[in-house]
Structures are given as C-alpha cells and as structure tokens.
Amino acid sequence: MSTPTALPKTKRGVERRAQILSAAETVIGEKGFTAASIADITREAGTAQGTFYIYFASKEEIFRELVLEMGRITRTIVTRAVSEASDRLQAEQDGLRAFLRFVAKRPSLYQIVEEARFVDPDAYRAYFTSFAKAYESQLAAAAAAGELRPGDAEIRAWALMGMAKTLGERFVIWEAEPDIDRVVDEAFALIRTGLEP
C-alpha cells in the first residue's frame, strides 16, 4: 500500500526512475491526477506498466513526490531571485516576477500543486505552509527594520501568496502569450501603495 519504495541501486535504475517521474509530471500536469492512468505514464516514459511499481508504491506516491519536487524548485527559484534585492519592496517585485516566469516555464507543476489539495491535502498544506513561514519571517523582519509599514506578517504573507497564485493562473496559464512584466508592474503598484488615492 504505502511501503516507501527504496531508491534505485544501479545507474539504469536511477535513469528509469527519473524517466517515469518526468513522464508523470507531463501526463498528470496535462490530464490531471484522476484522468492520468499508470498506462499513460508508462507509455509516455517508454516502459512497461509493471516497471512503474519497481520505483513507486502507488500513483499517490509518485504524485506526492512531484509536489515535493515542486516545493523545492519554487523555493529555490524565489529565494534566489529575492536574495539579490536591495530592499524588501524590491524583493517583492523580483519574487513575483520570478514566480510568474516559473509558472510560464513549468505550468504542469503548477497544476499538480493545486490538485494536491484534493489528492494529498497534507502535501498541499505542507507546500504552502513551509513557503508561508519563510515569507512571513522576511516580512516581519522588514517591518521591524522600518522597510515596510507595520502590519501582521502572517496575514500579509498569505494574502500576497494568494495574489501571486491567482495572477499566475489567470495571466500566465490562461494566456497564450503572457505579458509577465505588465502583470508584475501593475500588481506591484497595488502591493506597494494600495488602492487609496
């Protein structure tokens, strides 16, 4: 059922596992978890169906793996983008842009994280909570340093994450030719100075 499958021990095994994982990203990202069958995944990977179960205990397990991968990548990308900023407001703008570019590049992983809400709620929560924790402490530090207007860092973190998520969906995923810079500029203006005239 959920015996955590051991990692492969040969070079070939490592490659096969990666092939299958990548195929799963493609297929599940396109068709969704339920519609994507193991047969679809192994066909995409170019292996027999049984091979799947050498590397993953279940369809759920490979899915969780994809969510974890997505978490690692997103955090890395955003952290790197933000680390070069001179102040916190600049970091907000850079982070948003990096995130939206990532969504444009890997829309499938974006889809997968959202579907995790239903397929693997714990993984979903962990993904956002771990992101939010880091985000929150950055915001709190910046506010304490007077770089931001005072305010609740936790609520801000989630509000800003939600904004980014939905902008990514609407203006990147749904758009044939996303204009990321325009979205970043407008959204950042809102984040920076608000709606009040």
Residues that bind its own copies (CB under 8 A): 32-34, 88-89, 92, 114-115, 117-118, 125, 128, 132, 146-149, 151-152, 155-156, 158-167, 169-171, 174, 182-183, 186-187, 189-197
Tokens coding 1? 């059922």
Residues 78-97 that bind DNA (CB under 7 A): none
Q: From 57-65, 85-93, 132-140, 169-177, give the range in contact with DNA by CB under 7 A.
A: 57-65
User: Total residues at the site for DNA (CB under 7 A)?
Assistant: 25
Q: Which is nearer to DNA, 53 or 118 (CB)?
A: 53
| Residue 18 in contact with DNA, rule: CB under 7 A | no
Q: Which is nearer to DNA, 33 or 102 (CB)?
A: 33
What are the start-end ranges of the H helices in the chain? 11-31, 38-45, 49-55, 59-83, 88-105, 107-119, 121-144, 153-168, 180-193
CA–CA distance, 150 with 156 (Å, rounded to integer): 11
Binding partner selected for residue 146 from DNA, its own copies, none, CB under the kind-specific 5 to 8 Å limit: its own copies
Among residues 21, 23, 24, 36, which is the contact residue for DNA, using CB under 7 A?
36
Which is it for the CA torsion 83, 87, 88, 89, positive or negative?
Answer: negative
Q: From 35-43, 80-88, 103-111, 126-134, give the range in contact with DNA by CB under 7 A.
A: 35-43
Q: Which is nearer to its own copies, 55 or 110 (CB)?
A: 110
Query: Closest approach of Cβ 53 to DNA, in Å?
Result: 4
Q: Are 95 and 82 in contact (CB under 8 A)?
A: yes
CA–CA distance, 142 with 21 (Å, rounded to integer): 39
Tokens coding 58? 């279940």
Tokens coding 187? 């959204």
| Residue 50 in contact with DNA, rule: CB under 7 A | yes
Tokens coding 28? 């599940």
Q: Which is nearer to its own copies, 23 or 172 (CB)?
A: 172
CA–CA distance, 14 with 18 (Å, rounded to integer): 6
Among residues 30, 32, 60, 154, which is the contact residue for DNA, using CB under 7 A?
60
Which is it for the CA torsion 72, 74, 80, 85, positive or negative?
Answer: negative
| Residue 22 in contact with DNA, rule: CB under 7 A | no
